[in-house]
Amino acid sequence: MKTLLHFDARKIKRFVRPFNAALSKFHLVARRAELTGAYPDRESAVCAAPRWALTDYDHDDVVPVALDKMSRVIDWDYPVLFWLERELRARSGKRVRLLDAGGHVGTKYRAFRSLLDFSDLQWQVYELPSMVKAGRKMAHAEGIGPELSFCDSFPEIRKAEILLCSGLLQYLDIPFTEFVSRLPERPQVILLNKVALREGPSIYTLQRGGPTFLPYHIRNKHGFLAELDALGYRIVDTWCIQYLAHWVASHPELGCSESRGYMLQRKDLAVAERGPVEPVIAKAG
């Protein structure tokens, strides 16, 4: 019993890591969301994916993957809920438009609507065509009205005061600065969540998810922060999601990535007086 109480699983993990890395170089990964491969750009990552795998989300077979989990409030959603509630209250009595970029079938709308007052909120999801088709069908079946809408092209995107990107950036196929510049108007506030970052150079890897091996972008942290500054946004708050830090299974020498969230506000807007903000750490139970 004493031996079991002092059992250190980390020693076994360190011992098997070289074997796991060797297998992962052939994309033999056991778990969903495990990362494999390291590539300089998105195109190289796509070319390296197994031939049988799908390499994007625009497929009907991908829609139900992790749908139930994404439709619930998860630990790392709470900083987003905090800031979204604060921004909605600041605009109380006014119509508020939110663009949920990469919002799947409206999963965060469903997860958040029982906790926040959405009576004055117009929530638009920008997604791939298969997700948009499924999202519209689900919303109609559930009797959700025009307050939740969907689009799959930039010309259809409406002006929005708030931009939400929860888990989008690592899969986005254009630079984030270009994405924001193509919107009808720069949002007043941007809420980013689950942004994959590292201290070294940016890399692309592959993430297994159901029938897919998706290109997964881990950005250089300092370069990304410089991009946000150049876009004209200041960081009001940031939080670290410890549970979503990842090793690239095939390249453990690259070290562990960091997953962060950001509350951003346009610099040219009048800044309301705010007290000092302590970083929030979201931990999975």
Lowest-confidence region among 2-16, 100-114, 151-165: 2-16
Residue 19 has pLDDT above 60, yes or no: no
Report the alpha-carbon distance of residue 204 to residue 209 in Å, rounded. Answer: 16
Q: How far apart are CA 178 and CA 182, in angstroms?
A: 6
CB burial of residue 215 (10 Å; 0-12, 13-18, 19+): buried
71 confidence band (pLDDT: 50, 70, 90)? confident
Beta bridge partners of 215: 206
Which tens digits make up the pLDDT trace of 80-126? 999 999 999 999 999 999 999 999 999 999 999 999 999 999 999 99
The pLDDT value recorded for residue 18 is 54
For the record, the structure tokens of 105 come out as 């079938």
Query: Does the pLDDT of residue 56 top 60, yes or no?
Result: yes
Whether CATH 3.40.50.150 fits 58-196+220-245+258-268+277-282? yes
What pTM, to 2 d.p., does this model score?
0.83
Q: What is the pLDDT of residues 253-272, one digit of tens each?
A: 999 999 999 999 999 985 54
Q: Domain segments of the chain: what residues? A: 58-196+220-245+258-268+277-282
Higher pLDDT pick, 221 / 60 = 221
Question: Can you give the chain as a three-state secondary structure string?
Answer: CHHHHCCCHHHHHHHHHHHHHHHHCCCCCCCCCCEEEEECCHHHHHHHCCCCCECCCCCHHHCCCCHHHHCCCCHHHHHHHHHHHHHHHHCCCCCEEEEEECCCCCHHHHHHCCCCCCCCEEEEEECCHHHHHHHHHHHHHCCCCCCEEEECCHHHCCCCCEEEEECCCCCCCCCHHHHHHCCCCCCCEEEEEEEEEECCCCEEEEEEECCEEEEEEEEEHHHHHHHHHHHCEEEEEEEEEHHHCCEECCCHHHCECEEEEEEEEECCCCCCCCCCCCCEEECCC
- φ, ψ for residue 177, nearest 5 deg: -60, -40
Looking at every residue in the chain, the average pLDDT score rounds to 85
Largest separation between any pair of C-alpha atoms in the chain: 65
